[in-house]
Structure 1
């Protein structure tokens, strides 16, 4: 005869019910985050953005609030570069129809987009390759062949800096790649990286606009930079460049990079400081007088859409910023403090609350691990949130890719670090090794959404219930 421990049996049942409830709650929060992210990304879909900002009425082309009389031009030609530029090109072909003569669009490998009137050249990202040089040179050759009365439309999106690569002077592609890698690993922000890129390129920093002149130029951009400055989107190929050779040198000095930068790059920059090489075109240059610049999508727009979706789901909301910058691990720690404040003090909003922010952080690579800035931010936040099971944090790249990984970002909540410890994982060690991808992969907390065809930097979603 077997005895039954009723008390123990009931305790086990309660534990199972609790675990089920906790799992359901965790799944619900993750589902809400993914819904918010999906709607935010859809709001900056490149095809929709083009259709919203470009239209034709008889012989008048409307670009935002601008009106261009097409009878003044012989042909309309389109060029472009970036991860979203093929999708932008599809919409432009649809809007312009027979009025479009042709063009060339450069993008990253695997875009899968084919255009009827424009050649598509695929190249490497984030580190340029020979195809990047080919695409940039084809673009320059195209614009130099246009009739002086042609209208040129340029489509720019995230990734253009690497995808259009044409080293200046005696700098080789290998040497430019070495300089780019050093900058990406240094912790320099995108504006600083682009300051150097512009001054070792034949296409960036307004050089493309110089080649297009005297044609009228319309630039349409999906912004992937903090502040939405045209000078930084794709390293500003079609806009005036306020930075100088001396400022490029200053960036290398700030991050102690002189020993990692090839001699040809240093010599080119020093020659520019001595005025032995022509500076990038400045704002007062007449080549920009008739040009039009229009931002058609940005992180701000994505966050506004995310907020509307969150409110529809029943959350009290607050947008912290669309201009987050800094070291990812420090930003993650700060954001964890903000969401704990909401949970503990109900300030600035009360739970159930969703805190939204965006921008582009950086990672100073010191370890030998694998990860991206979003995953590193979330791992840092997870350490601060240990034990706060009613808080969730997520961070994703809106292009669907976080650094050199196949994930867009990651989730973490108050149980993440504890669950990692049960598997023998030390979150601090993984953070120090820049190995956030492997940590979240073991826990099943990576976010996979696949390539989105757009890019407006990163989005962070934090929930307190």
Structure 2
């Protein structure tokens, strides 16, 4: 993996290979199959999940369902553990070109991300059918990871897929937070906001969850299909006003949410629902684990390293400027770390689309940082999406250094113009500084590395 994370700039500096090694160590720490196997163990007819034990002889069937970018690897590990006790299942993953595993008794299907498509709805229908056939003596194992909200859809009555697609596009374009987006999704979809639990009741439900949300709130990850939802119809409707989307929102969505506010539509699953008594949710991986692994690896290869935060949020171009300022502080005053320094920040930024270019939040962050870093020597801001995909591109992010802008200028590229047009991808592609590891099979937000060699 280290070799796949190298770029032109990282290959050209003595510490570049060490930075690639740190990134690879972070990704290895949240490898989904390993995390699943650690949380799900079997000893004969005893199934151990986290701190709980399940007697498999008490169940007539064990079903496997799930959605998310890490679903394939998680499913492979789960099937290995469950073996002969598995009755069947359906897992939906992102269509990213990666080969799908052939699992006995389990269908692994593809759908679109970040905007759902017809395959998302078909997968939702299949999983809903499986869940509804589960009985009191059945065990449902759900594998949930980032991206599940888009990959798995079953819109509520009178709301179409086209309505959901339109709203999703507008929410992404305006820079809405994932919490806001998923509050709306939960109130417009039958599988989200505890939907798995409602449909599977009275079956026992156990969920293994790999977090792609800052702070790992379980109700937000993949819109919480196995988790109680604290949000309301009123909050969902208010978000349309907060982001000035009500006028452009499909009328069917406005009508459904308004009916919900009036009590004419069922709310999402709430914390006091008795059906939660037979539900266990286990967090098996997060951005924090990846960031901590990066910290250990950075120190092992000789960096003075610090984990700044795992709660990084905000507009990508603004965050890029702040992180570049930290790099300048280290380079100029040797604080808060002395060279060779590597500072780690985890989280996920957003982009308010202003132009018509191509890129993603990490590429935009790096481009903004490059402008602020201009003229500094032996410094870099490296922005990495842990799933290997940053926005609607095949890049995971980019590497910005103190000479990025000057190198681009020689090629006739204007960094400020590219940033203004949200067009970071072709900018970094021309420099050979896109991070192109391919799909990683995991998804725990983003990691940003501020480096002063």
Q: Same fold (TM over 0.5)?
A: yes
SS in 2 for 1:28: coil
**1:159 is aligned to 2:147:** yes
How far 1:315 sits from its partner (Å)? 0.2
Tell me the equivalent position of 1:463.
451
Tell me the equivalent position of 2:18.
32
TM-score scaled by structure 2? Answer: 0.96
Tell me the equivalent position of 2:5.
none
How far 1:24 sits from its partner (Å)? 8.7
Distance 1:23 1:307 in 2: 22
1:133-158 deviation digits (Å, cap 9, x = unpaired): 00001000001112321011000011
Query: Is the Cα contact below 8 Å between 1:154 and 1:219 reproduced in 2?
Result: yes
**1:42 is aligned to 2:28:** yes
**1:94 is aligned to 2:45:** no
Tell me the equivalent position of 1:65.
51
Alignment counterpart, residue 302 of structure 2, candidates 298, 314, 325: 314
Q: Residue 216 and residue 25 in structure 1: after superposition, are their counterparts in 2 closer, same or farther (change >3 A)?
A: closer
Tell me the equivalent position of 1:116.
104
SS in 1 for 2:417: helix
Query: Is the Cα contact below 8 Å between 1:93 and 1:117 reproduced in 2?
Result: no
Tell me the equivalent position of 2:135.
147
**1:185 is aligned to 2:177:** no
1:273-303 deviation digits (Å, cap 9, x = unpaired): 1111011111111111121111111110011
Alignment counterpart, residue 65 of structure 2, candidates 71, 79, 84: 79
How far 1:432 sits from its partner (Å)? 0.7
How far 1:387 sits from its partner (Å)? 0.7
Distance 2:10 2:288 in 1: 32
Query: Is the Cα contact below 8 Å between 1:29 and 1:392 reproduced in 2?
Result: no
Query: Is the Cα contact below 8 Å between 2:135 and 2:201 reproduced in 1?
Result: no
Across the two proteins, how many residue pairs are aligned to each other?
444
Distance 1:111 1:194 in 2: 26
Matches within 5 A, 1:268-283: 268-283=256-271
Query: Which structure has the bigger radius of gyration?
Result: 1
Q: Residue 24 and residue 400 in structure 1: after superposition, are their counterparts in 2 closer, same or farther (change >3 A)?
A: closer
Tell me the equivalent position of 2:373.
385
Q: Residue 152 and residue 23 in structure 1: after superposition, are their counterparts in 2 closer, same or farther (change >3 A)?
A: closer
Tell me the equivalent position of 2:423.
435
Query: Is the Cα contact below 8 Å between 1:359 and 1:458 reproduced in 2?
Result: yes
**1:336 is aligned to 2:320:** no
Query: Is the Cα contact below 8 Å between 2:9 and 2:16 reproduced in 1?
Result: no
Query: Is the Cα contact below 8 Å between 1:339 and 1:463 reproduced in 2?
Result: yes
Higher relative contact order (CA 8 A, sep 6+): 2
Distance 1:24 1:120 in 2: 37
1:217-248 deviation digits (Å, cap 9, x = unpaired): 10101100011111011001111000011111
**1:214 is aligned to 2:213:** no
Distance 2:223 2:16 in 1: 35
SS in 2 for 1:289: helix
Tell me the equivalent position of 2:164.
176
Query: Is the Cα contact below 8 Å between 2:396 and 2:437 reproduced in 1?
Result: yes
1:399-447 deviation digits (Å, cap 9, x = unpaired): 1111111111100110011111222221111101000111111111111
Aligned-pair Cα RMSD in Å: 1.4
**1:408 is aligned to 2:396:** yes
Query: Is the Cα contact below 8 Å between 2:124 and 2:152 reproduced in 1?
Result: yes
SS in 2 for 1:259: helix
How far 1:23 sits from its partner (Å)? 7.5
How far 1:347 sits from its partner (Å)? 2.1
1:245-278 deviation digits (Å, cap 9, x = unpaired): 1111111111111122111111111111111101
Tell me the equivalent position of 2:3.
none
Distance 1:24 1:97 in 2: 44
How far 1:358 sits from its partner (Å)? 1.1
**1:301 is aligned to 2:286:** no
Query: Is the Cα contact below 8 Å between 2:11 and 2:17 reproduced in 1?
Result: no
Query: Is the Cα contact below 8 Å between 2:9 and 2:399 reproduced in 1?
Result: no
Alignment counterpart, residue 264 of structure 1, candidates 234, 249, 252: 252
Distance 2:9 2:415 in 1: 22
Q: Residue 324 and residue 23 in structure 1: after superposition, are their counterparts in 2 closer, same or farther (change >3 A)?
A: closer
How far 1:348 sits from its partner (Å)? 2.2
Tell me the equivalent position of 1:228.
216
Query: Is the Cα contact below 8 Å between 1:157 and 1:234 reproduced in 2?
Result: yes
Distance 2:334 2:51 in 1: 42
Alignment counterpart, residue 138 of structure 1, candidates 121, 126, 130: 126
